[in-house]
Amino acid sequence: MRMRSLAIVLLAALAGDAAAKGWPTPAAGDSTSGGPELVLTFDDGPNPKTTPQVLDILKAHHLHVIFFLVGEMAGSENKKVPGILDRMVKEGHIIGTHTMTHQDLCRLKDEDRAAREIDNGKTTVEKAARLRTEWFRTPYGVRCERVERLLSERHLQHFHWDLDPQEWKHGNVERTVKYVTGQLAKNSDRVVLLMHDVKEVTVKALPQILDWIDAENAKRLKVHKKPIRIVNGYDLAGEHLTPGLVPWLADLAPDLSGIAGSVSADLP
């Protein structure tokens, strides 16, 4: 009897491990440049106070990233939010969805509610931003049979990450910068970085990280070493484009005269 009970416990543990298994990495595929590459992504916004500061930093560095927006934040009655969303689109950033109220989709007892989290979040973000979204990220990066089934039914794929400094959790700027730059210094492939535009720590850490990349690339150039290439969100979208999505990409990229056509010509 004890052996049978032990077997049940072990099977349950294995099942739990399988349910909690993470998403495949590298999250955005292998490097296309032959050297280290970085994809910048930001979750949980928009925040009227901090998101504009993040946009200022990105604009100063001529970068175009991916924002995974929460429905209740994008649909907020705050008068500043529509302008922030318009700015994201006009400045060439990609917008993805991140559920309606940032719930753990695997832990919700009601599966219908989990489905509504995905659907309502997508609908609300698309209405607020006035564009179509194609990319989705689960809160906390959770993965389970339910999530996989719900995403499959909606023809959505989860967009995961490779580097998570957890700045939202500890709030330490120095720790955030040290983690990210340390990982980038030894990286030789493509990595997706997760940060949060709703946090002050992100606003303070991001320019330090980008300045470090500039300085690091200057050093690499002198010794003929591959620089760290930051992959723009719309470039990444172009790599994964499927038939019918050229209009979606054209709406999001800042200058796609010719890009949309060339991408379309490469489609099957």
Per the annotation, the verdict on 86 as an active-site residue is: no
- Give the distance, in angstroms, between the CA of residue 170 and the centroid of all CA atoms in the same chain: 20
Active site residue 43: yes
Q: Which of 64, 162, 196, 197 is catalytic?
A: 196
For the stretch 22-27, contacts whose Cβ atoms lie closer than 8 Å and that sit 24 or more positions apart, written own/partner, are 22/141, 22/143, 22/160, 23/141, 23/143, 23/158, 23/160, 24/160, 25/160, 25/162, 26/162, 26/189, 26/190, 26/191, 26/192, 27/159, 27/160, 27/161, 27/162, 27/191, 27/192
Instruction: Judge whether 46 and 74 are in contact, CB under 8 Å.
Output: yes
- Catalytic one of 43, 44, 162, 197: 43
Say if residues 160 and 23 touch (Cβ distance below 8 Å).
yes
Catalytic residues: 43, 196
